């Protein structure tokens, strides 16, 4: 039985990824700073720890066939740049060094769409130049630089760059959206909302991770997103209609919105970072032909199906979800000044 070591295995992507690996017959071990709160204890080897601990990683990588490096500090955490770099860059180096020393067959690195920032054109391909707008995106670019260093040392590293991952259990900013729709509050968007916005389902992302292990794709980079995407306004309208909500979509002129949100972000009065208010009015979607050709990967779900499933999951657990806060995609985040806006929406 082949062994897979997953960093960040207790996160929003980590949990379904671990389940998918177990279903495929892999033996799975996990490291995460968060406790394993899912009924997986008897099926996995779990260590509560940090990817900044190089000694611990060296121990955990022994006898491992594959590593999926998913651990990262996210933009919603609003962490200082040093913490972002410690985890997203130095932690990545620690994982790769441990994998190299243990002769791991392949490492799958979960990157992000954030390095592309505000692209000059779409669709975005693997060859599109990076243009980050926030420290998180810059940290992911630096981490990809570490990937190239260790590729040169002989470590096979596959980079996956997903668009926004949505699914059951995805909260963060989506929890704010879902709660406003459920409460029939107006939904404010930056710009007209007529720009194409791409997502990827957690199931399709898990499939891409597993195919990256199983297929020959030495040192390749893949951009991942669903085949057909709608505009921001269309996706929101579909979800509002499905929820039978009376919420209305209100467009805010993009220059004004960015100016106001930038100031409120500086004052730490909103749960957004530059990534969230500088890009949402831009056409942002990937060309995933390379993944479809080399991996045989085929995204299977539509944005409507994904958003419906995610919204329903939230509604079923709303009382518990709305009372627990954190800084990950599996927790609610504090709305700050948005709570006041919600009252008048």
The catalytic residues are: 136
Backbone angles phi, psi at 44, to 5 degrees: -130, 165
Residues contacting residue 308 through CB under 8 Å, at least 6 positions apart = 239, 242
Please list the residues that pair with 157 across neighbouring strands.
Answer: 107
Residue whose structure tokens are 């944005």? 303
List the beta strands (DSSP E) in the chain: 3-7, 27-32, 44-48, 66-69, 106-110, 157-162, 164-166, 187-190, 196-197, 199-201, 221-224, 230-231, 249-252
Residues shown for the chain: 345
Residues contacting residue 86 through CB under 8 Å, at least 6 positions apart = 52
Cα separation, 46 vs 182, in Å, equals 36
DSSP code of 282? S
């Amino acid at each position: 039985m082949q062994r897979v070591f997953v960093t960040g295995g207790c996160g929003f992507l980590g949990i379904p990824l671990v389940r998918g690996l177990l279903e495929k017959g892999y033996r799975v071990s996990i490291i995460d700073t968060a406790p394993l709160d899912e009924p997986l204890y008897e099926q996995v080897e779990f260590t509560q720890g940090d990817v900044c601990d190089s000694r611990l990683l060296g121990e955990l990588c022994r006898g491992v066939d594959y590593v999926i490096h998913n651990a990262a500090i996210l933009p919603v955490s609003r962490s200082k740049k040093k913490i972002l770099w410690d985890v997203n860059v130095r932690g990545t180096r620690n994982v790769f060094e441990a994998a190299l020393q243990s002769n791991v067959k392949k490492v799958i690195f979960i990157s992000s769409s954030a390095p592309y920032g505000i692209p000059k054109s779409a669709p975005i391909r693997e060859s599109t130049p990076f243009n980050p707008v926030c420290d998180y995106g810059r940290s992911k670019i630096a981490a990809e630089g570490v990937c190239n260093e260790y590729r040169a040392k002989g470590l096979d590293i596959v980079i996956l760059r997903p668009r926004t991952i949505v699914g059951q259990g995805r909260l963060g900013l989506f929890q704010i959206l879902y709660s406003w729709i459920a409460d029939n509050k107006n939904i404010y968007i930056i710009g007209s909302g007529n720009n194409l916005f791409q997502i990827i389902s957690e199931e399709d992302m898990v499939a891409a991770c597993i195919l990256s292990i199983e297929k020959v794709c030495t040192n390749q980079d893949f951009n991942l997103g669903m085949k057909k995407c709608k505009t921001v306004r269309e996706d929101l309208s579909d979800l509002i209609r499905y929820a039978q909500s009376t919420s209305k979509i209100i467009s805010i002129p993009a220059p004004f919105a960015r100016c106001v949100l930038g100031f409120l972000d500086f004052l730490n009065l909103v749960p957004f970072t530059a990534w969230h208010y500088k890009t949402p009015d831009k056409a942002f979607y990937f060309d995933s032909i390379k993944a479809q050709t080399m991996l045989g990967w085929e995204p299977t779900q539509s944005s409507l199906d994904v958003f419906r499933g995610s919204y329903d999951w939230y509604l079923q657990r709303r009382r518990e979800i709305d009372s627990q806060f954190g800084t990950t995609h599996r927790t609610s985040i504090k709305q700050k000044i948005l709570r006041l806006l919600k009252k008048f929406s």
